[in-house]
């Protein structure tokens, strides 16, 4: 959501952020480096001595103690050399950099681990895992016996259907919210906000009760899963579209109306086309968020190791569901295959995410009328204008 907003907003309207920032002194003086290196060496030595004297071991504990010691030593040093204010500033800087480093560890950790465990499965016999299905699975099956093909088909169809349902509805609602500021619009806006954070399992439960349970076993299908995903996706698409549409310059709307266009033409021919790139970004981000959701499809898709091309009849597989089922299968082969499917899932989701960023960054502002598929139609020379 935020990224859409940042992308699409014109450079001169960036709130109070980019343009008028104070020039700060960025480069680190050599004396600071020497002080930090000295403190680090002293801290490591202290921690090592304490650990070897008391006979404690453990890498995590050592790292923690060394970090505490570094903080103390460096703080004392700065306090003696530069005074209490400089000490606070230096320690805060160290803490902030360390804290933000912690935020990036899980991302690197999880993606690295998925590549490490899943890559081995995918590339065991390369294209096979993408096209085969799970009907050949046994507890001792070799790595080449199964594949994620059926799950990929299911994910594509379910997410595609969900997108088809939600995008028109979400964009229309967003337009309504931008155009109106009455009590009804405020209520809807708050409801959309609140639903964005509602538990994923509730969407699955709701569709199960309203659509699957009345039809018993026959109700479980790709279409039901698409409905559950739509419940999750609708608030996301509405919210992001609202942000994108609300930054379309008001003067454009005024101009359209002044030229005699009725309101519906102003919206359909001027406002939505202007916000087009932002809307595409919003939709792709919504798709990326939805494609990885497991909880909504858990009760309603059914799962199916074989290919099922028809989302409207019969149980269907999808990627997150397949990961979930393989995790709970006994045996080493199942864990291994779960990592393989996870790899495909992460690849799909992150590719969508990067695609959205790419399209979003193509335009500097919402004023440019540029379709994302222009890049395929135009010659390369015109493309990078």
Partner 1 sequence: MTTLTSSASPTDFADNDVPLNLLTKPNGPDRIFNGILAGSSGLVLALLAATVVFLCYYGFDAFRHAGFGLFTDLTWSPDTGQFGMLPLLVGSVMIAIIGVAIATPVSLSTALMINEYAPSRLRPLLTAVIDMLATVPSIVYGFWGLILISPAQAAPARWLAQHLGFVPLLRTPSPGFYIKSIFACGLICAVTIIPIITSISREVMAQAPRDVCEAALGLGGTRWGMVTDVILPFSRNGILGAILLGIGRGLGETMIVVLVLSQANHLTPDILGPNGLGSIAKEITDNFVVSSVITKSGLILLGLILFMTTLAVNVVARLIVQRTGQVSR
Site for partner 1 in 31-60 (CB under 8 A): 58, 60
The reply on whether position 206 binds partner 1 by CB under 8 A is yes
Draw the binding track, 362-381, toward partner 1 (x: CB under 8 A; -: no contact): --------------------
42 backbone φψ class: left, alpha, beta (φ>0; ψ -120 to 50): alpha
Contacting residue, 224, 345, 359, 363, with partner 1 by CB under 8 A: 345
Which run of H or of E encompasses 322? helix 319-327
Contacting residue, 155, 158, 163, 189, with partner 1 by CB under 8 A: 189
Which run of H or of E encompasses 347? helix 332-362
CB-count burial class (<10 Å; 0-12, 13-18, 19+) for 309: exposed
**Hey, which residues between 119 and 158 contact partner 1 (CB under 8 A)?**
none
The reply on whether position 249 binds partner 1 by CB under 8 A is yes
Biggest alpha carbon distance in the chain? 86
The reply on whether position 358 binds partner 1 by CB under 8 A is no
**Hey, which residues between 227 and 246 contact partner 1 (CB under 8 A)?**
231, 234-235, 238, 242-243, 246
Smallest gap from Cβ 280 to partner 1, in A, equals 17
Q: How far apart are CA 110 and CA 120, in angstroms?
A: 16
Q: Residues 251, 12: contact at Cβ < 8 Å?
A: no
Q: How far apart are CA 314 and CA 223, in angstroms?
A: 10
| Sign of the four-CA dihedral 110, 115, 117, 121 | positive
Q: Which stretch binds partner 1 (CB under 8 A): 28-36, 37-45, 192-200, 273-281?
A: 192-200
The reply on whether position 217 binds partner 1 by CB under 8 A is no
**Hey, which residues between 281 and 340 contact partner 1 (CB under 8 A)?**
285, 288-289, 291-295, 298-299, 320, 323-324, 327, 335, 338-339
Residues in the chain: 385
**Hey, which residues between 70 and 129 contact partner 1 (CB under 8 A)?**
85-86, 88-89, 92-93, 95-100, 102-104, 106-107, 109-111, 113-114
347 Cα distance to chain centroid: 12
Q: What angle do CA 61, 65, 69 make, to 5 degrees?
A: 170
Contacting residue, 186, 215, 313, 329, with partner 1 by CB under 8 A: 186
The reply on whether position 61 binds partner 1 by CB under 8 A is yes
Q: Residues 233, 173: contact at Cβ < 8 Å?
A: no
Q: Which stretch binds partner 1 (CB under 8 A): 34-42, 70-78, 153-161, 254-262?
A: 254-262
Q: How far apart are CA 385 and CA 383, in angstroms?
A: 6
Q: How far apart are CA 333 and CA 173, in angstroms?
A: 47
Smallest gap from Cβ 190 to partner 1, in A, equals 6
Residue number, 197 or 381, with CB nearest to partner 1: 197
Residue number, 358 or 369, with CB nearest to partner 1: 358
Residue number, 217 or 379, with CB nearest to partner 1: 217
Q: What angle do CA 316, 115, 58 make, to 5 degrees?
A: 125
């Amino acid at each position: 959501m935020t990224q859409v907003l940042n992308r699409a907003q014109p450079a001169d309207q960036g709130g109070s952020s980019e343009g008028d920032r104070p020039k700060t002194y960025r480069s680190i003086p050599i004396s600071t480096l020497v002080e930090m290196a000295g403190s680090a060496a002293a801290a490591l030595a202290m921690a090592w001595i304490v650990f070897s004297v008391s006979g404690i071991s453990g890498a995590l504990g050592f790292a923690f103690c060394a970090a505490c010691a570094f903080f103390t030593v460096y703080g004392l040093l700065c306090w003696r050399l530069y005074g209490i204010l400089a000490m606070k500033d230096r320690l805060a800087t160290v803490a902030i950099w360390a804290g933000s480093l912690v935020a990036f560890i899980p991302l690197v950790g999880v993606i690295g681990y998925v590549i490490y465990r899943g890559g081995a499965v995918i590339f065991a016999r390369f294209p096979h895992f993408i096209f085969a299905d799970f009907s050949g699975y046994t507890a001792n099956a070799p790595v080449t016996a199964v594949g994620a093909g059926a799950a990929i088909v299911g994910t594509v169809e379910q997410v595609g259907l969900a997108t088809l349902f939600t995008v028109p509805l979400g964009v229309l609602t967003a337009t309504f919210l931008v155009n109106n500021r009455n009590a009804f619009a405020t209520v809807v806006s708050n409801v959309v906000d609140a639903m964005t954070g509602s538990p994923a399992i509730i969407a699955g439960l709701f569709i199960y009760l309203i659509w699957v349970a009345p039809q018993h076993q026959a109700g479980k299908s790709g279409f039901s899963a698409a409905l559950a995903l739509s419940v999750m996706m609708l608030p996301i698409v509405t919210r992001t579209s609202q942000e994108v549409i609300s930054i379309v310059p008001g003067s454009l709307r005024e101009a359209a109306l002044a030229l005699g266009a009725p309101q519906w033409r102003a919206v359909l021919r001027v406002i939505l086309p202007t916000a087009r790139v932002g809307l595409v970004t919003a939709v792709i981000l919504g798709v990326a968020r939805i494609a990885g959701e497991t909880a909504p499809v858990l009760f309603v898709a059914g799962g199916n190791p074989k290919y099922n091309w028809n989302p409207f009849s019969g149980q269907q597989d999808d990627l997150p569901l397949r990961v979930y089922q393989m995790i709970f299968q006994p045996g080493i082969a199942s864990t291994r295959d779960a990592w393989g499917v996870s790899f495909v899932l992460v690849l799909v989701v992150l590719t969508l995410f990067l695609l959205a960023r790419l399209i979003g960054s193509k335009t500097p502002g919402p004023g440019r009328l540029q379709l994302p598929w222009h890049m395929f139609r135009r010659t390369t020379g015109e493309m990078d204008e």
